[in-house]
Every structure is written in structure tokens, then in C-alpha cells.
Amino acid sequence: MAEVVAGRFELIEHIAQGGSGSVWLARDLRSGQLCAAKVMRQSYSGELLRFVREQGVKFDHEHLLTPYGWAAVDDQVVIASQLMRGGNLHTAMADYGAFSEELAAQILVQLLDGLAHVHASGWVHRDVKAANVLLEPTGAGVPHVRLADFGIAAHKDAARLTELGMTVGTEGYLAPELKLGAEPHPAGDLYALGVLGTRMLGGPGSGAVGRVIAALLDEDPTVRVRMAAQAPALLEGLLNADGYLVASGEEFEVFNHFEPEEAESTRKVVQAVPETIAPAVAPAKAMHVMPWVAAGVAVLLGVLALWLVFGQPAAEPAPAAPSASVAASPTRSGSSTPASPSPAKSSESSVSPSPLDVGISSNASAGEKCTQLEEGLLVTGAQHAKLVCEREGAGYQWHPAP
């Protein structure tokens, strides 16, 4: 009989093993729908904190995938997300080899759209890579992608889960300034996207897509942010091609990895699920396994959930709330419910985020325009002047650093 966790999630088939847990094809017995369930089977507090953070980050956007529910019992914690039946980009790249420029451009634009929404909400993903880009089964033609796994995402106003100066992310995707210990910043995600673009093409690429990728990989983070604003227009000519091919000329197809009839054949008969399910604490009779772990999980989840929902103490000034639309990104409908920042809207007199010194030189000069994604970025500009990007009226401008 298939294992059922916390009376809610029936684990059907193991999909993948990651650093913070395993991923299963599961059935949510509350809704009867199939889902992807990430399961942690250890009591290490650091991993538990990341699980709590991931379930607290919620976005409603067509190119982002975040958890919709969770449950815990004894030494097990489960976070459930919508099931993406087309696998991930890492597997697709292994299956097909190098992509055509048209296919890479289509994927890059979708991910830029999703990242723009993340960054406008004050978040940084910090682990953009092929394995975290999931595919919806579309058959042949335009692939639809979603960026997932916000387990190490950081909000500009949230408490850090890592030590100051500690490098977080996946080796090979890290921007130069992050290797030097810089704070998380949207430009770091854009660099990782440039690495992903290079890997999709099997090299630096040429033409418009090559220029976009080169700029996303620039050592100057301001160049990356500005390219994010220009990329959709630069790549527009590649988005209307008939069919999407890989470099070998084969048509790119995203198949359904979990056919409904196959999933049904693996389903086991389980007892009826009670209408009310307590997601965080096991029944008393189950506590004999590891009672202290169950209690610790419940308390820690409760405390962290309160922190994620209500943010920092009200006595501290609220940061300036980012605009719902960002000039540096294509606009699409969608709303986010970030759990860490304070929910109160800020006034214009709110304290700006402290400058982020990434230790990188820039050609910027005082008085020149910058973008919202560069707000708080501290760079060494022309004539070795320290500059910081700050709000100026309805826009943003480089100012001499204090």
C-alpha cells in the first residue's frame, strides 16, 4: 500500500532526489488531484527552515511555480505544488542536446518574465538553473516553462538564513560578485539565466540571442539589469518562428511524463480521509515514533509561519513597496503574495534599503538614470566615484553614495 503522510498526501512514485529532500508524484487526498510532493525526512533545523520559507513564498504568475499546501507529522514534512507533467529543462537538454536559437529565445523570454515578477516583489530566487525550470506538456511547438524551487530565495527585508558572506547557489551559475560574498541581488539571477542560455545553445550563441546572453553574463551587474529590459524586444524576431527545433534539426516536444491512466493504475485504496485534517501535528498515538521531533516541527513551523506572514516588528520602518509593473521587464497579469515583508504599504518617506556594494566598477555617472531593479545597488562609477541608485521622482537615478 502506498504511504500516506499526515493523512493527506499519498506518495505514489519517486521522481527525484535533491539536497533538501525527495520529490514524489503524489495524490492530495483532500482534493483528489495529483501533485508534486517534496518530502523531508530529517530533523535538521536548517533544512526545516528552508522548507518553511519555501511554502511561505507564493506567486500567482504563469511562469512561476510555488507550493500551495503542506503537512507534517513525526519526522516528515511535505510541501505540495502543482504537478508539472513535462519534466524539467535539465532532462530535456540531456535528451535533445543543443537547442536552436529560436527555442532558446522562447525559453529565455518566459524566464525573464517570471523573474521580473519575482524581483518586482522584492525577492531574489538565488538558484536559477536548468533543473529548476519545469515544463508543461505542450507536444510539439512552443514550450511553456515555469521557474520553481524557492527554498533558498531571499527577500530584501527578510531575516537571512545563512551567515553573512556565505555563498549560496549552484556552482557554475554564480555571478562573480556573489562569489566575493555580495548580498543577494536580482542581477545575480540574471547572470544565472545567462549561464542557462549558454548551456541551452551549447556555446555563446550569435545574433540577437548571443548579444542578450553576453550582456546577462557581464561582470557589471547594471549591464545585466539593463539587458533584461531590452531582451524581449531584441528577441522578438525569434519568437514567431514556425516550430521550435533543436540544433540537430529535430522538433522539440514536451511529452506528458505522467499519463492520467498510468497514475490511476498505481493508486492504492486507502481509508476515507476525514474532512478536517490537522496538517502540522500528528495524532497522539503516532507520537511514540519521535515525539520531540513532532513537537519541534509543529512549534518551528508555527513560529516561522508567523514570521513569514507578518514580517519584521512594526516598530521598524517599512521599506518602499515595489511598483506592480517594472520598466525593466515585460508586463503580464499576475499577483504575488510574498510572505516575509511587512504587509503595510510604505509611504514615500520610508527608509530606502541600505546600499549593496558588489565591489564592481561601472561606467555610470551621478545624475544618470538607473532602474528599479538597481535600487540600492552601490557601484564604483566614472572617476572612481561611489554611486548608489535611488528613487528620483517617478524614476531612479545614480546619486553620490553617502
Domain containing residue 141: CATH number: 1.10.510.10
Q: Residue 326: what pLDDT? A: 32
226 shares a domain with 117:
yes
Tens digit of each residue's pLDDT (9 = 90 or more) over 178-202: 999 898 999 999 999 999 999 999 9
Residue 282 or residue 143, greater confidence? 143
CA distance 160 to 370: 27
What is the mean pLDDT of the segment spanning 29-35? 94
274 shares a domain with 134:
no
66 shares a domain with 119:
no
264 shares a domain with 231:
no
Q: Residue 217: what pLDDT? A: 98
Q: Is residue 322 part of a domain?
A: no
Q: Is residue 191 part of a domain?
A: yes
Domain that holds residue 170: 89-238
What is the mean pLDDT of the segment spanning 216-228? 96
Q: Residue 383: what pLDDT? A: 79
Given 209, 238, 267, which residue is the final one in a domain?
Answer: 238
Mean pLDDT of the chain: 73
Q: Residue 185: what pLDDT? A: 94
139 shares a domain with 18:
no
Q: Is residue 251 part of a domain?
A: no
**CA angle, 161 then 324 then 176, to 5°:** 45
3-state SS class at 210? helix
Asked if residue 99 has pLDDT above 80, the reply is: yes
Residue 90 or residue 18, greater confidence? 90
202 shares a domain with 187:
yes
207 shares a domain with 96:
yes
The cell for 271 is 481509508
Q: Residue 394: what pLDDT? A: 78
297 shares a domain with 265:
yes
CA distance 136 to 121: 25
CA distance 28 to 10: 7
Tens digit of each residue's pLDDT (9 = 90 or more) over 241-298: 766 778 888 888 887 777 654 444 444 333 333 333 333 333 333 333 333 333 444 4
Asked if residue 86 has pLDDT above 60, the reply is: yes
Q: Is residue 299 part of a domain?
A: yes
Count Cα atoms within 13 angstroms, Cβ side, for 55. 24
Q: Residue 298: what pLDDT? A: 45
CATH of the domain at 10: 3.30.200.20
Q: Residue 301: what pLDDT? A: 46
The answer for residues whose C-beta is within 8 angstroms of residue 401's C-beta and 6 or more apart is 355, 378, 386, 387, 388
Q: Residue 268: what pLDDT? A: 39
Q: Residue 148: what pLDDT? A: 92
78 shares a domain with 102:
no
Q: Residue 398: what pLDDT? A: 85
Tens digit of each residue's pLDDT (9 = 90 or more) over 107-122: 999 999 999 999 999 9
208 shares a domain with 174:
yes
Tens digit of each residue's pLDDT (9 = 90 or more) over 309-357: 333 333 333 333 333 333 333 333 344 444 433 333 333 333 333 444 4
Given 251, 284, 310, which residue is the final one in a domain?
Answer: 310
Residue 75 or residue 287, greater confidence? 75
When divided into structural domains, the chain yields a total of 3
Given 238, 270, 291, which residue is the final one in a domain?
Answer: 238
Asked if residue 10 has pLDDT above 50, the reply is: yes
